[in-house]
Structure 1
Amino acid sequence: MASLSNAAAPPGRGEVTRCERQCTWVTCSEEDAAASDEYGPLDIQVEVGESPLFEHSSDALFLPTEDVNIAKKSFNAWYNSGVLAALDTLAEHKVDGQVSWPSKMSVLLLGAARSFSALHSSFYPHLLMSGEELLAQFSGASHWATCPVRAMEWHPHASRLAVARKDNLVQVYQMQTTATSSCPHFSTGRMQQLKHPEQKRISSLAWKPYSGSVLAVGCQTGVVVWQVRSHPGAPRPHPQHLCSNGHSPVTSVAWSSDGRLLASASPADTSLMIWDVTSPDCTGTPITRHGGGGVSLLAWSSAISDTGMSRLLTATPSPLFRVWETRCFTCERWSNLAGRVTAACWSPDGNVLVFAMADDPALYYLTFFVSKTESADESTRRVGGADTAIKCVDLTPVEMAAANDMDEPVTVGGCVQSLAWDASGERLAATFTADSPGRDLVAIFTTTSQPVMEVLPCGFVRGRTGETPEVVTFQNDVESGALLSVAWSSGRIAFVPLLYNTPHSLDSASTVDTLEKAQHSVSSIGTAFNSPVAPPLTARQEALHKHGFGAAWPEQSPVPRTPW
């Protein structure tokens, strides 16, 4: 089992990570990084104030009205706040100064309900939290309540980046190249802003596969589904607001591999919601399993070859998680864990699940399989997961010497806050919780599956002084490796090329020249859009073109990747 002491030395304080090249890390000073950033990092500055972590009620803004019918008042209380609020309204009702019989019955029912709620909450303490406290506890960002960027997601097939801000705004950026620069950059002129009255306190984002423009936004009131415009001047269709009684706040959303189904999760609801986006009214179906106290995290795998089946992880606020096969929606459960699952992601082929748990500084993985008999008979289909998860990396904090051997030792490691796996399956990124010693670093791991599954520490990514990583994600289909995107606590979004498929050796001339060459190696991210003559379409391009992508998007040359 590997440990962080096997990784390359972390950057010293005052240094910024620029890129990785064949497991060798290039760093420079903060001044040099700011002066020569080819990607034009995005700085998200939020000026709109946010309320503190407790719920505000608008009832205090209005004077009470005594002449409103008690039935209407009870109905309004139930509609706005639920059954307990309606019973509370009836319990306070009096007729000519005397307690009425509906009030007496409501007091008895309210007492019984509160006793049951207290007993239930003793098993699941998170049910006593407010909506904002649940979002802060179960979202992927380390400091969700204060960080300017609360979620971030690359489109799986296009060079689009969606960023959710603290002020309830979603911005969509388009990466592009120009004739004067071979390196891709972001154009603020092509940035789109998405805002909706129901889009409050955003927790997660998810792009629909095989669609160029559909984006799901998980928030406190449910899910808002957007149809992002192809260009800023195009008309924008009205977004859909998906909600269900008791299913809020939503802390995680995930699309099926074919883009037909959308899943949403809420820690306050024991039901997993599956939305059929192909139906005109976007029908939602609750799938309920008792035990766990809710659903806090989702991770939907890619389709498994030869079967078309995919798997869906549903983690709960308690030490229990389930994995579903998504044809018949049967599940298997794993319990008696060290803590709740805080982060998880699937391998590109959908057969390996890597996850981390609260209060346990380690990474684990589960392998899955589908037998021939199960794949042939859907009525007996099972998930096919291993009985026991295997601990693959020990993340116990360790003290390491800084890379420049000049600074004081750096402590790395801790419990994991979030995970991201690149599309090739060769790089895994992890951030640490706010109380971990290594909270100001992003840990990078190399991953292989042949002959056995192996996760090895590779190195660390550091931002500017005082910054901690909040959200990490990878851009898909990068020819020379992977492009890691990090949203830092300052509101800055940085892009770190991880170049593990380039045959060239590391140039030792200077860190700036080395980075320019490294960034030139990933210029294929955007140069395809400027190609004067498009090559013949491949089968993959034709499939993407049918789902709304331009025919001028050429297939990138094949890259040797580790098979999964």
Structure 2
Amino acid sequence: MRTLYDFQAPTDGEVTLCEVDGRIHSANFEFTNVNIFTNSLENYPQIHIMKDSLYSNKLGDDAKELFISVEIPFLKQLVQIYYEQGYVEMLQAAASHRKFLISNLASILLKTINGFDNIRTIFNPTFKQSRTKIITKISLTRNWVNSPIRCIAWHPDYVKIAVGICDDTVKIYQKNSTLIPILKCKQQKNITCIKWRPMSDSEIAVACEECIIIWNVDPHSVVTRPSVSNAIILQRNNHQPIVSIAWSPHGDMLASVAAQDSVILVWDVEFNRTSSLKRPGCSGNSLLQWAPNGKKLFSATTTLVFRVWECQTWKAERWNVLTDRVQAASWSPCGSTLLFSTTQEPIIYALSFIKSDFIFAHDFSSSPNAAIPLYDVSKVDIEGIIIGGIIQNMDWDPAGNHLAVIFADTSYVAVFSVILDPVLQLNPRYSFTIGLK
């Protein structure tokens, strides 16, 4: 198995900028200008995010001290706590109140809820953790909780990019436009991922901790703050925190998974209706990837198990990894090959499919019950530069020529050239830095 030693060390003080006609171009990091080598990016949007956008604007206890306290009726207090913090906090407030009947009833309900939660944590340990910690652990973004940019998404058909920022806003940058639409509403808290809807130039799904918001952003509108009336809010009880979503290739279905919910939901967006993909077990889910040909759907749980669903019969093939869980996965453009990595092994694995049958092709002489270890990306020191380690995320480009890999502990991106036929191969292409750790 090949290793990252096959990569060439980046020149000291330089950063890789682009590949033009098969040739890789680099420049000093202080004088980077892609336009020196190609003019294909001249009309691409320039992204500038102000520093004041990098801080959350949530109303905390310090801000509440600025207001004069007033006497609020007890029942009104409970209603207010319910809408602002949830039913558990409401019951805790009621239990601590002096009203005998209400406080006793609230205490009994709290004990009952805690009992059910204790039973659920036996089967799904993620229930013990706060949602923010769960998202940070599962997210494809490195150090999600402290990252100023939570996620990005390029439109598959237009020069347009959506950027999710830590202040719970999404900004849309597009070609030849100085207008930057800003998407924000009170339900949009703790953005986890963003996906443009296929076959549409205006619809984008924003996955948050408690819901999914489908925004309709008219590319010809001069309004920079679209109203929530232009959005569809998809929400279900216990389907939280939502950590991954995936559109079907034709954009007619949207699938979502939550870290504390064992059910995979498939949404009919326009009618706000869902179908459930149920399977045995009480573990939550962490990742979804729809095959580009629409025939298969990959889903990973928060445990050792992952599945590949056949989208006509919705039957699933179950697989296990050796330790922990799947962290990242990516389909080939033809949908015949799936690459994935785990949270414990610095190895890229491959699963291949033969024709349209639900049969897995593997190593030429090995058992059909194992994936192929394709590339070892363990940490290496190349002329003083550390690259590699556990994979944070990977993405296969739509043309199928390149695979980009980012790592959890090092700041270089490894880019591979991909050969599918006659045998799947990953060949080192180049690496470039994404900033200091």
User: TM-score, normalization: structure 1?
Assistant: 0.66
Describe the shift of the 1:84–1:163 C-alpha distance in structure 2 as closer, same or farther (beyond 3 A): closer
Distance 1:189 1:106 in 2: 54
Q: Which residue of 1 aligns with 2:15?
A: 16
Describe the shift of the 1:292–1:57 C-alpha distance in structure 2 as closer, same or farther (beyond 3 A): farther
Q: Which has the larger radius of gyration?
A: 1
Equivalent position SS for 2:121: helix
CA RMSD in angstroms, aligned pairs only: 3.4
Match runs of 1:81-120 below 5 Å: 84-85=88-89, 88=92, 91-92=95-96, 95=99, 99-100=100-101, 107=107, 110-111=110-111, 113-120=113-120
Match runs of 1:259-408 below 5 Å: 259-277=251-269, 279=270, 281-291=271-281, 293-303=283-293, 310-369=295-354, 387-401=369-383
Shift of 1:330: 1.9
Distance 1:461 1:292 in 2: 41
Q: Residues 54 and 130 of structure 1 are in contact (CA less than 8 Å); yes or no, is this contact kept in structure 2? A: no
The AA in structure 2 aligned to 1:198 is Q
| 205, 211, 214: which one aligns with 1:222 | 211
Equivalent position SS for 1:47: helix
Q: Tell whether 2:61 aligns with 1:45.
A: no
Q: Which residue of 2 aligns with 1:241?
A: 233
Describe the shift of the 1:212–1:105 C-alpha distance in structure 2 as closer, same or farther (beyond 3 A): closer
Q: Residues 162 and 170 of structure 1 are in contact (CA less than 8 Å); yes or no, is this contact kept in structure 2? A: yes
Describe the shift of the 1:86–1:326 C-alpha distance in structure 2 as closer, same or farther (beyond 3 A): farther
Distance 1:194 1:171 in 2: 6
Residue deviations 1:291-348, cap 9 Å, x none?
3621121111122xxxxx5211111222221221222322122124322111111111
Match runs of 1:155-170 below 5 Å: 155-170=155-170
Q: Which residue of 1 aligns with 2:421?
A: 450
Q: Quick one: percent identity of the two aligned structures?
A: 29
Q: Which residue of 1 aligns with 2:27?
A: 28
Equivalent position SS for 1:205: strand
Describe the shift of the 1:208–1:334 C-alpha distance in structure 2 as closer, same or farther (beyond 3 A): same
> How many residue pairs end up in the alignment?
421
Unaligned stretches of 5+ in structure 2?
A: 362-367
Distance 2:61 2:119 in 1: 26
The AA in structure 1 aligned to 2:262 is T
Q: Residues 326 and 343 of structure 2 are in contact (CA less than 8 Å); yes or no, is this contact kept in structure 1? A: yes
Q: Residues 53 and 165 of structure 2 are in contact (CA less than 8 Å); yes or no, is this contact kept in structure 1? A: no
Q: Residues 47 and 173 of structure 2 are in contact (CA less than 8 Å); yes or no, is this contact kept in structure 1? A: no
Match runs of 1:169-208 below 5 Å: 169-175=169-175, 187-208=176-197
Distance 1:330 1:78 in 2: 40
Shift of 1:415: 0.5
Describe the shift of the 1:17–1:331 C-alpha distance in structure 2 as closer, same or farther (beyond 3 A): same
The AA in structure 2 aligned to 1:291 is G
Q: Residues 290 and 298 of structure 2 are in contact (CA less than 8 Å); yes or no, is this contact kept in structure 1? A: yes
Shift of 1:68: 3.4
**Which has the higher relative contact order, 1 or 2, with Cα contacts under 8 A spaced 6 or more apart?**
1
Residue deviations 1:7-39, cap 9 Å, x none?
2x1314421112235665321112321595764
Equivalent position SS for 1:314: strand
The AA in structure 1 aligned to 2:400 is G
Q: Which residue of 2 aligns with 1:121?
A: 121
Residue deviations 1:50-108, cap 9 Å, x none?
35999979999896978535xx877776676666556545644655xxx54x7656645
Q: Residues 204 and 218 of structure 1 are in contact (CA less than 8 Å); yes or no, is this contact kept in structure 2? A: yes
Q: Residues 292 and 316 of structure 1 are in contact (CA less than 8 Å); yes or no, is this contact kept in structure 2? A: no
